[in-house]
Amino acid sequence: MKKFAAVIFLFTNTLFSQVVFEPIHKDIYDYLSRLSQKGIIEYSDLIKPVSRKYISEKLQELEGKTSDLTKLEKEELKFYLKDYYRELKGFEENMNDTDTLSYLSNDEGGRFRLFSYSSDIFKLNLNPVLGYKISFPEKDRNSHSWNGLYMYGYLTGRLGFSFDFRLNNESGPSPDIEKSFTPVTGIVTSNNLNNFDYSEVKSMFTYDWSWGSISAGKDFIEYGYGESGKLVLSSKAPSFPFIRLELKPVDWFTFDYFHAWLSSNVIDSTNFSEYRRNIYRNKYFAWHSLIISPLKGLDISIGESVVYSDQLEIVYMMPFMFFYLADDYISNYQNKPGDANVQIFASISSKNFIKNTHLYGTLFIDELTIPGVSGTIFFDDYSIEGISKSERLRTQLGYTLGISVAGLPFENLTFTSEYTKINPFVYGHHTPAETYTNSSYLMGHWIGHNADLFYLKFNYRFLRGLQANLWLEYIRKGSADFGRQYQIPQPEFLFGLKNFFTYYGIDIKYEYTHDFYFQAKLQFSKIKEELESGFFSELNINEFSFAIYYDL
| Confidence tier at 338 by pLDDT (50, 70, 90) | very low
Please report the sign of the dihedral spanned by the C-alpha atoms of residue 365, residue 368, residue 373, residue 375.
Answer: positive
Q: Give residue 392's pLDDT.
A: 55
| Dist. CA 398–CA 363, nearest whole Å | 6
Greater pLDDT, 21 or 335:
21
> What are the φ and ψ backbone dihedral angles of 484, each rounded to 5 degrees?
-105, 20
CA–CA gap between residue 227 and residue 223 (Å, rounded): 12
What does the pLDDT average to over 279-286? 93
> Does residue 250 sit within a domain?
yes
Residue 251 lies in a domain: yes
Predicted confidence at residue 187, as pLDDT, reads 94
Q: Residue 343 burial by CB count (10 A; 0-12/13-18/19+): exposed, middle or buried?
A: buried
Structural domain contains residue 452: yes
Task: Give the C-alpha separation, 143 to 137, whole Å.
Answer: 11
User: What is the reported pLDDT for 352?
Assistant: 96
Q: Residue 328's pLDDT band (boundaries 50, 70, 90)?
A: confident
Average pLDDT score over the chain:
89
pLDDT band at 97 (very low <50, low <70, confident <90, very high): low
Is pLDDT of 143 > 80? yes
Structural contact between residues 240 and 42, judged by C-beta atoms closer than 8 angstroms: no
Q: What whole-number percentage of the chain has pLDDT above 70?
A: 88
- Residues 26/514, Cβ–Cβ less than 8 Å: no
**Is 321 among the domain residues?**
yes
Backbone Cα Rg of the chain: 25
If phi > 0 it is left, if psi is from -120 to 50 it is alpha, else beta; for residue 160 that is: beta
Identify the three-state secondary structure at position 94: helix
Residue bearing the bigger pLDDT, 309 or 487: 309
Q: What is the largest CA-CA distance in the chain?
A: 88
Question: What is the residue range of 128's domain?
Answer: 12-550
Kindly state whether residue 6 falls inside one of the protein's structural domains.
Answer: no
- For residue 421, pLDDT over 50 is answered with yes
pLDDT band at 477 (very low <50, low <70, confident <90, very high): very high
- pLDDT surpassing 60 at residue 387: no
Q: Average the pLDDT over 517-533 and give the result.
A: 96
Is the model's pLDDT at 91 over the cut of 50?
no
Report d(CA 374, CA 154) in Å as an integer: 51
Q: Is the pLDDT of residue 384 over 50?
A: no
Average pLDDT of 224-244? 97
- Residue 88 binned pLDDT confidence (cut-offs 50, 70, 90): confident
Mean pLDDT, residues 220-245 taken together: 97
| pLDDT above 50 for 94 | no
At 112-134, the pLDDT tens digits run 899 999 888 889 999 999 999 99
| For range 210-239, the mean pLDDT | 96
Whether 16 contacts 94, CB under 8 Å: yes
Cα gap 149→129, rounded to integer Å: 5
* pLDDT reported for residue 332: 64
No. of helices (H) and no. of strands (E), the chain: 6, 24
Determine the pLDDT at residue 9.
37
Q: Which of 31-45, 187-201, 534-548 has the lowest mean pLDDT?
A: 187-201
- The average pLDDT across 23-42 equals 96
96 located within any domain: yes
The predicted model gives 280-301 an average pLDDT of 96
pLDDT in tens, 358-373: 999 999 999 877 555 4
Task: Please state the rounded mean pLDDT for residues 426-449.
Answer: 95
| Residue 5, in any domain of the structure | no
Rounded mean pLDDT of 53-80?
96
3-state secondary structure of 407: coil
Confidence (pLDDT) at 102: 86
C-alpha triplet 350, 355, 357: angle, nearest 5°: 45
Report the share of the chain in percent with pLDDT over 90. 73
**pLDDT(378) > 50:** no
Residue 90: which pLDDT band, with cuts at 50, 70 and 90? Answer: low
Task: Report if residue 488 sits inside a domain.
Answer: yes
Say whether pLDDT at 234 is over 70. yes
Q: How confident is the model at residue 109, as a pLDDT?
A: 85
| pLDDT of res. 141 | 96
Pairing, β 451-463 against β 100-106: unpaired
What was the pLDDT predicted at 295? Answer: 95
Residue 529 has pLDDT above 90, yes or no: yes
Mean pLDDT for the stretch of residues 47-71: 95
14 versus 490: the higher-pLDDT residue is 490
When divided into structural domains, the chain yields a total of: 1
Angle between helices 52-63 and 71-83 (to 10 degrees): 140
CATH of the domain at 100: 2.40.160.130
Q: What is the pLDDT of residue 48?
A: 97
pLDDT of 486 reads 81
Please say if the pLDDT value at position 457 is more than 80: yes
